[in-house]
A and B are shown apart, each in its own frame.
Chain A
Amino acid sequence: MIGYLTLVFLITGLLMLGGRAVSRSIALLAAQSLVLSMIAFYLGLWDAKASWHMLVVGGLTLVIKVIVLPWILYRLADRVVKYHEVPLSIGPGLSMLTGVLLVGLTYSYVVPVLLKEVQVGGQMFPVALSAVLLGCFFMISRRSAFNQLIGIVMMENGLFLCAIAINGGMPLILELGIFFDLLVGVLVMGVFTNRIRGTFDTLDTKVLNKLKG
């Protein structure tokens, strides 16, 4: 069961690289977060080793990342993204290919060689690290401030899965703190995208090039 869920988690990440419509990215992000919360619920309910607060984490993920954040992002997108399509620096096909390569790199090199000290079995850990890298690449391959915001949430999802894979979750106080940071961070970055859109009349990060040297 966990295997299937992590697979879906990975696929949503890859699919996000393949499209350029903003609404599609947000929907896929919400789907990825939904899978994350299902993993947390599953572990909390049926895994003997995992502690009860996985349920709290699952519930928080469901509320914040599946409902609140996508809602904020949709509203923001309506206001700031002009044609609902963002400029790419790399084409969709090529960027999906790069994504697959990144996943391959994680499976063949990063996890077995670089991080060989971390002995956790299963697919969850490599998938989580791949998701962090995919989020990073998502930010680079889109030249839109709005998509950099989505990329950050995607990286955060990867980190969360990482914490679950290695440690079976972090202490509750820390999880709460991270959720709070993420929520406030997205709100603040939303304010900034709004102001960038108002000042520059575009979200293309190409225009953010005045400060040098």
Chain B
Amino acid sequence: MLYLLLLIPLLTAVACLLPLGIRSWERINVMGALMTGVAGLYCSLMPFRAGGGTRAGSFLFIDEFSAVLVFVISVVGTICCLYTVGYLRLDRESKEVAEGKTGRFFGLLHLFVATMYLAVLADNLGVMWVAIEGTTIVSALLVGFYGSRQALEAAWKYIVICTVGISFAMLGIILTFYAASGILASDEIRLSWSFLYPMAARLDPLLMKLAFIFVLVGYGTKAGLFPLHTWLPDAHSQAPSPVSALLSGVLLNCAIYAIIRFHLLTSASAGSNFSGKLLVVFGLMSMAGALPFILVQKDIKRLLAYSSVEHVGIIVLGFGLGGALGYTGALLHLVNHALGKSVLFLSAGTLAQKYHSKLIPRMKGIGQLLPVTATVFMASLLAIGGAPPFGLFISELDVASRGFQAGGMGLGFVFLMIIAVVFAGLIYFAGKMYFSDLPTRLTGGERFSASHLLLLLPLGLLILQGIYMPGSVQYFLFRVVSFMTASGGVY
């Protein structure tokens, strides 16, 4: 089944790269996206039904933690792929994208999804590295898809910075391999997570600390942690919006996932004090570092990109603080941010297409131009800001409580202040866009369509989760958290 999950998007990608014509490309894309989504949802339930990690062959492995990521990829990935159909139609109307390139776009999109699935399903930490490097290569092509000067610049910076950054993660993996050489004899399993993790207590703690530093720097570049985030706003703002949504909603999470795997290993070997503290420091830095850029931003997509840096900070902080509360908050926040931010990027992208501009001062009267999309945009902005009744309120509350509990008054206070200021900044910009008059050159109005339904689905999940969490979801969450705290990953 896990192999099937990789195979479906791969075959879809190949089919989309064939010269077939627009109608069939769109049909293949929709079919492939739906099938991948269903397979992904099915796979994400596997470890919960089997009562633990399930492996397929010697390469793929799914446990409670990766199941969360598979769930996120399948929901967000499917929605983005489906939304792309309408998005590209608008782009073709305004001659931004040539007709013949549509198939290539769909193909790369599915290839991108496939590499992300591989990254979270790989049992071998090295294969995970290869997959994450693969995501960079594929998504750089998508970032530079428009081929404009800015898009090329963003794509080039993205691929160079991330490739160099991830080289350092390779050094970390080499060191882990070295640390494991004493306890696991065979070459092939020395980097396999499921063999390594039970033995982790016997790994040399000093070596693992060194390895973790390299891994944090390497994958941290990819996750967009603060001083290493420089590629992120460029790539997110220049990419076509469905790609921005995927980058922000899923790709960053895959990099965080890789860091947390090593965090679990390092905590098991050296105690969580070291790696946990590093995560707390980097998390707070990302939150604080993104703040000034959010407040003075003029480009709506860059604004959202910096907000992603802030949210990555919150997630990493939650994982670093650890404990049942910290892990619950971080995991929930990871899912919620992915859902909310992808809706936000998709709706903002459609608005920007209509205005032919991404600049906030030029996007006036969004509520009159596209009533439905603008409402979705405002709602998801409130959600991302952390307002109740959306799920992000709950997850931020969890992380904040854990912050007060484990890090003291100072940490909790700083955390809440940053969130409050960011919220104010987001609402200020959104207010300027919504409560203003439409320029006379544009005429407003739109009908409710299938695309809106796609946007409402994740938003509905967020509201539902903020008001009422079903017992089964609570049980799943409990399973994931107890998987992560099992080996003393408590601060």
Residues of chain A at the chain B interface (Cβ within 8 Å): 51, 114-115, 117-118, 132, 136, 139, 145, 148, 152, 155-156, 159, 162-163, 166-167, 170-174, 177-178, 180-181, 184-185, 188-189, 191-192, 195-196, 199-200, 208-211, 213
Residues in B with CB closer than 8 Å to A188 are: 137, 140-141, 159
Given A196-B156, A211-B153: A181 in contact with B134 (beta carbons within 8 A): yes
In the complex, the answer to whether B127 meets A174 with C-beta atoms within 8 Å is yes
How many angstroms between the C-alpha atoms of A136 and B129 in the bound complex? 20
How many angstroms between the C-alpha atoms of A211 and B129 in the bound complex? 29
* B317 CB-CB contact with A under 8 Å: no
How many angstroms between the C-alpha atoms of A191 and B134 in the bound complex? 16
Residues in A with CB closer than 8 Å to B103 are: none
* B91 CB-CB contact with A under 8 Å: no
**Which of B63-71, B185-193, B414-422, B457-465 touches A?**
B185-193
In the complex, the answer to whether B178 meets A211 with C-beta atoms within 8 Å is no
Please tell me the size bucket of the interface on B: 35 or more
* B124 CB-CB contact with A under 8 Å: yes
How many angstroms between the C-alpha atoms of A159 and B206 in the bound complex? 21
How many angstroms between the C-alpha atoms of A122 and B444 in the bound complex? 72
Nearest residue (CB) in B for A151 is: B164
11 pairs across A/B with beta carbons < 8 Å? A115-B210, A117-B204, A117-B206, A159-B174, A171-B187, A171-B188, A174-B126, A188-B137, A189-B159, A192-B159, A195-B152
In the complex, the answer to whether A117 meets B207 with C-beta atoms within 8 Å is yes
How many angstroms between the C-alpha atoms of A159 and B171 in the bound complex? 7
Count A/B pairs, Cβ under 8 Å: 126
Given A155-B167, A159-B167, A192-B144: A173 in contact with B124 (beta carbons within 8 A): yes
* B243 CB-CB contact with A under 8 Å: no
A114 nearest CB across to chain B (Å) = 8
* B95 CB-CB contact with A under 8 Å: no
In the complex, the answer to whether B163 meets A185 with C-beta atoms within 8 Å is yes
Residues in A with CB closer than 8 Å to B210 are: 114-115, 117-118
A207 nearest CB across to chain B (Å) = 8
Given A117-B206, A117-B207, A211-B153: A156 in contact with B126 (beta carbons within 8 A): no
Per-residue 0/1 for B159-174: is the Cβ within 8 Å of any A Cβ (1 yes, 0 no)? Answer: 1100110010011001
How many angstroms between the C-alpha atoms of A181 and B171 in the bound complex? 16
Residues in B with CB closer than 8 Å to A117 are: 204, 206-207, 210
In the complex, the answer to whether A167 meets B127 with C-beta atoms within 8 Å is no
